[in-house]
């Protein structure tokens, strides 16, 4: 086998670095209007060496902004706050993380320092404590109904799936299901990170959600697109294919 000239190796290396760095540099904070006072924000981080999007959501209320999960990219905590302040002239008053992974909990301490009340379930906090991840100030010991400004929403633990502690959030009036990483986008071709997953119980968990929350108009998965409301069914199909 012929060896590549050193200058060619250097050129290839520089090209790959420049391409990867350039792509990552441009993948910053994205904010998209969902409906009414609901917005989806997306940041990026690396998974298996590739820049991967992670979705969170925020709700603008008369009493301030409620954040559902934090940016995965830690450099985007302040830009998200700044964008919300400029766009809505309001501060973030609550941040709720839906499970213990960094793409959900990374900003808990930051947002607490900015004056927001931070929440996770007790189960999530126990896992975060063991793993040395960021932790919330307030704990939910059971499914909880929140009333913030003119909006009401509830947290729901349907069972294990992506992780042992994953919860979803339901807005009954608007028929919005915020699913986090428990629910896979219709773009997903596999179940993603299974390091802490319970694939055996995952189908039952999804079916529990389908039985409890009928006909959602919007379903927000933890990663990739949310344009389709078929992601619950797609998650079940992915689990079936995996098995």
Among the listed residues 103, 165, 166, 223, the single catalytic one is 103
Catalytic residue check, 101: yes
Check 88, 193, 198, 208 and give the catalytic one: 193
H helices of the chain, where? 6-26, 77-88, 102-105, 108-113, 122-131, 202-212, 231-242
Cα–Cα distance between 177 and 11 in angstroms, integer? 48
- Helix H or strand E encompassing 35: strand 30-35
Residue from 55, 125, 162, 234 carrying the catalytic annotation:
162
Please say if 223 is a catalytic residue: no
Catalytic annotation present for 162: yes
Catalytic residue among 99, 125, 223, 234: 99
Cα–Cα distance, 4 to 220 (Å, whole number)? 48
3-class SS of residue 85: helix
CA–CA separation, 75 vs 97, rounded Å?
A: 18
Burial 126-159 (b: 16+ CB within 10 A, else e): bbbeeeebbbbeebbeeebeeebbebebbbebbb
Inter-CA distances, 180 with 15, 16, 70, 91, 156, Å: 35, 32, 11, 23, 12
- Would residue 99 show up in a list of annotated catalytic residues for this protein? yes
The catalytic position among 37, 69, 101, 166 is 101
- State the catalytic residues: 99, 101, 103, 162, 193
């Amino acid at each position: 086998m012929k060896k590549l000239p050193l200058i060619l190796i250097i050129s290839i290396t520089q090209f790959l670095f420049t391409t990867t760095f350039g792509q990552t540099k441009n993948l910053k904070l994205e904010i998209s209007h969902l409906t009414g006072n609901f917005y989806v924000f997306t940041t990026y981080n690396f998974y298996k060496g590739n820049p991967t999007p992670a979705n969170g959501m925020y709700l603008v209320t008369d009493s301030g902004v409620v954040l559902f999960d934090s940016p995965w990219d830690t450099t985007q905590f302040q830009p998200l706050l700044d964008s919300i302040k400029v766009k809505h002239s309001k501060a973030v008053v609550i941040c709720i993380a839906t499970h213990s992974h960094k793409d959900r909990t990374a900003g808990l301490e930051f947002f607490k320092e900015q004056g927001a009340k931070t929440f996770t379930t007790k189960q999530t906090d126990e896992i975060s404590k063991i793993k040395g991840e960021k932790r919330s100030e307030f704990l939910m010991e059971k499914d909880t109904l929140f009333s913030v400004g003119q909006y009401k929403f509830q947290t729901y633990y349907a069972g294990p799936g992506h992780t042992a502690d994953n919860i979803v959030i339901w807005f009954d009036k608007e028929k919005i299901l915020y699913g986090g990483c428990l629910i896979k986008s219709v773009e997903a071709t596999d179940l993603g990170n299974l390091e802490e997953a319970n694939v055996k119980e995952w189908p039952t968990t999804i079916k529990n959600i389908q039985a409890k929350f009928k006909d959602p108009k919007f379903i927000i998965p933890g990663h990739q697109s949310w344009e389709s409301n078929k992601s619950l069914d797609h998650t079940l199909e992915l689990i079936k294919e995996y098995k």
